[in-house]
């Protein structure tokens, strides 16, 4: 691209960022969430892995490719990062500062839903991804790593592309090749056959179109392509013509799904020259999405509710209590352990006589001031339990209880008629 298209790239440093939190990692580096003090908003910082110690200014020529536009389906790059991740003891790092996407990626969504999204949302995703890719190709920018984890979701579940052209940026940062990782195995499933066939492979727009076709399959089925298959076999079979299995897709389930499958298979054609341009994909996905547009709001609401429920379920393991000091503390909640019928015994704190289970009617005892009670609970082993004012303890797995009663000691000033044993017992109880 001509230098006349270059735009100014701001360098963002540690003094503008606070509240760092690690939120993930990928093949290119770690990802953090932080608060931008000047903008007053949360941002995502992707730190790039490199080993030659260059500063952020050395990658501006490459990074400007990612700063073109203002397309709603492409992530906004706010600038380049240069700093020490808020810790002066750490080495100097460089990366990209991007807008923070609260709902993660499409890969996260498919995992949370354990399947595909509702059809209106599925078709909107397919359309928005094609719009974003068409925009990048219009700028002569290749993505080269299109997959579910590189399609992010905003608070309305609208999609935005990220990591486009990042492989070029990563290569410009280091004289060393990118280290292998687990992420490489996932990317392999979306690579075109020509990339796996020849070491002299030269990326083109058709390469991204192939990846889009496999991405469509993943969104429609809710699965990862070639799941459970060795990466070495995938690398060998894709150039031979193997593609993700179409049998799980029932085209009668949704209107326009058959047309989407046809588009998918066109995109992953073996011959790059036969794959459609993204402008054609935009036209086709728009037509299909319009068939389901009326149900979009309900679909988005249902999915957002499931995401909220998933977050809430992860918080159910946290118990918040207020100790005597008045300060709130948060601690993991120990799951209850059922060992037969749940124990129901209660001890009245401060009573000199234990409340025992009676097998026959008995006269009501004299009225006694109500006191707070302490309930016995059963918890799994390995947990230390501290109790006070307790005269009975539940032990074993058969819900039996040992009652230990200390004899009352008569005060030296008490009348001689006051005994030293409990006035109530099962053996000495007189009938009324």
Judged by average pLDDT, the poorest of 82-86, 172-176, 201-205, 409-413 is: 172-176
Share above pLDDT 90 across residues of the chain, in percent, rounded to a whole number:
40
Judged by average pLDDT, the poorest of 96-105, 118-127, 205-214, 347-356 is: 347-356
Q: Which residue has the tokens 């401060």?
A: 350
Q: How high is the pLDDT of residue 236?
A: 92
Q: What is the pLDDT of residues 104-152, one digit of tens each?
A: 999 999 999 999 999 999 999 999 999 999 999 998 888 889 999 999 9
Asked if residue 339 has pLDDT above 50, the reply is no
Asked if residue 353 has pLDDT above 60, the reply is no
Q: How many CB atoms lie within 10 A of CB 33?
A: 16
Residue 205 near residue 75, CB atoms below 8 Å: no
More confident residue, 383 or 188: 188
State in Å, rounded, how far the first CA of the chain is from the last one: 103
Number of Cα atoms under 13 Å in the Cβ half of residue 78: 20
CA distances from 177 to 171, 174, 180, 182, 313 (A): 7, 7, 9, 16, 41
CA distances from 1 to 58, 70, 138, 203 (A): 17, 18, 12, 16
Q: How high is the pLDDT of residue 163?
A: 81
Asked if residue 333 has pLDDT above 50, the reply is no
Q: How high is the pLDDT of residue 362?
A: 44
Q: How high is the pLDDT of residue 168?
A: 55
- Cα 251 to Cα 247: distance, rounded to the nearest angstrom: 10
393-405 residues labelled b (16+ CB within 10 A) or e (exposed): eeeeeeeeeeeee
- Cα 5 to Cα 277: distance, rounded to the nearest angstrom: 24
Residue 285 near residue 123, CB atoms below 8 Å: yes
Q: What is the pLDDT of residues 389-413, one digit of tens each?
A: 555 555 555 555 555 555 556 556 6
Q: How high is the pLDDT of residue 348?
A: 38
Using alpha carbons, select from 24, 41, 45, 25 the residue that is nearest to residue 33.
Answer: 45
Asked if residue 355 has pLDDT above 50, the reply is no
Q: What are the residue boundaries of the structural domains of the chain, listed by start?
A: 3-315
Asked if residue 281 has pLDDT above 80, the reply is yes
Residue 23 near residue 44, CB atoms below 8 Å: yes
Number of Cα atoms under 13 Å in the Cβ half of residue 329: 8
More confident residue, 311 or 372: 311
346-348/77-83 β-pairing: unpaired
- Cα 193 to Cα 239: distance, rounded to the nearest angstrom: 4
Asked if residue 69 has pLDDT above 70, the reply is no
Name the CATH superfamily housing domain 3-315. Answer: Transferase(Phosphotransferase) domain 1 (1.10.510.10)
Q: Catalytic site residues?
A: 145
Q: What is the pLDDT of residues 36-48, one digit of tens each?
A: 998 899 999 988 7
**Mean pLDDT within 267-274:** 97
Q: How high is the pLDDT of residue 162?
A: 87
Q: How high is the pLDDT of residue 278?
A: 98
Q: What is the 3-state secondary structure (H, E, C) of 4-25?
A: HHCCCCCEECHHHEEEEEEEEE
Q: How high is the pLDDT of residue 11?
A: 86
* Strand-pair partners of 17: 36
Q: How high is the pLDDT of residue 268?
A: 97
Residue 78 near residue 56, CB atoms below 8 Å: no
* pTM (two decimals): 0.67
Q: What is the 3-state secondary structure (H, E, C) of the chain?
A: CCHHHCCCCCEECHHHEEEEEEEEECCCCEEEEEEECCCCEEEEEEECCCCCCCCHHHHHHHHHHHCCCCCCCECCEEEEEEECCCCCCCCCEEEEEEECCCCCEHHHHHHHHCCCCCHHHHHHHHHHHHHHHHHHHHCCCCCCCCCHHHEEECCCCCEEECCCCHHHHHHHHCCCCCCCCHHHHHHHCCCCHHHHHCCCCCCCHHHHHHHHHHHHHHHHHCCCCCCCCCHHHHHHHHHHCCCCCCCCCCHHHCCCHHHHHHHHHHHCCCCHHHCCCHHHHHHHHHHHHHCCHHHHHHHHHHHHHHHHHHHHHHHCCEEEECCCCCCCEEEECCCCCCCCCCCCCEEECCCCCCCCCCCCCCCCCCCCCCCCEEECCCCCCCCCCCCCCCCEEEECCCCEEEECCCCCCCCCCCCCCCCCCCCCCCCCCCCC
Q: How high is the pLDDT of residue 269?
A: 97
């Amino acid at each position: 691209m001509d230098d006349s298209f270059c735009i100014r790239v701001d360098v963002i440093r540690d003094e503008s960022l606070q509240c760092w939190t690690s939120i993930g990692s990928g093949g290119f580096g770690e990802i953090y969430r932080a608060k931008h003090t000047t903008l007053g908003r949360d941002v995502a910082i992707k730190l790039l892995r490199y080993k030659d110690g260059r500063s952020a200014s050395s990658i501006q020529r490459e990074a400007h490719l990612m700063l073109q536009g203002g397309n709603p389906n492409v992530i906004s790059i706010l600038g380049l990062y240069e700093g020490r991740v808020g810790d002066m003891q750490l080495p100097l790092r460089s990366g990209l500062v991007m807008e923070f996407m609260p709902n993660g990626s499409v890969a996260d969504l498919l995992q949370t839903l354990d399947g595909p999204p509702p059809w209106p949302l599925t078709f909107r995703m397919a359309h928005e991804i094609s719009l974003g890719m068409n925009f990048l190709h219009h700028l002569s920018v290749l993505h080269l790593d299109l997959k579910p984890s590189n399609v992010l979701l905003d608070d309305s579940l609208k999609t935005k592309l990220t990591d486009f052209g990042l492989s070029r940026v990563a290569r410009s940062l280091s004289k060393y090749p990118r280290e292998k990782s687990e992420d490489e195995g996932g990317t392999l499933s979306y690579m075109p056959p020509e990339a796996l066939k020849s070491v002299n492979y030269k990326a083109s727009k058709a390469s991204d179109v192939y990846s889009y076709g496999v991405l469509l399959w993943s969104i429609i089925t809710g699965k990862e392509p070639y799941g459970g298959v060795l990466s070495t076999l995938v690398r060998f079979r894709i150039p031979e013509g193997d593609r993700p299995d179409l049998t799980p897709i029932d085209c009668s389930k949704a209107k326009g799904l058959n047309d989407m499958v046809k588009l998918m298979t066109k995109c992953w054609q073996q011959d790059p020259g036969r794959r459609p341009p993204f402008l054609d994909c935009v036209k086709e996905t728009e037509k299909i999405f319009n068939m389901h547009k009326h149900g979009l709001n309900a679909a988005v609401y249902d999915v957002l509710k499931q995401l909220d429920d998933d977050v809430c379920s992860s918080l159910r393991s946290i118990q918040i209590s207020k100790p005597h000091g008045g300060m709130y503390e948060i601690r993991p909640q120990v799951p209850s352990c059922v060992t037969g019928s749940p124990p129901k015994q209660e001890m009245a704190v401060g009573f000199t006589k234990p409340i025992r289970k009676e097998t026959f009617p008995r006269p009501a005892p004299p009225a006694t001031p109500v006191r707070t009670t302490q309930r016995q609970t059963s918890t799994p082993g390995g947990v230390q339990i501290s109790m006070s004012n307790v005269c009975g303890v539940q032990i074993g797995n058969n819900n039996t209880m040992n009652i230990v009663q200390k004899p009352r000691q008569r005060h030296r000033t008490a009348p001689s008629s006051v005994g030293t044993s409990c006035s109530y017992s099962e053996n000495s109880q007189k009938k009324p």
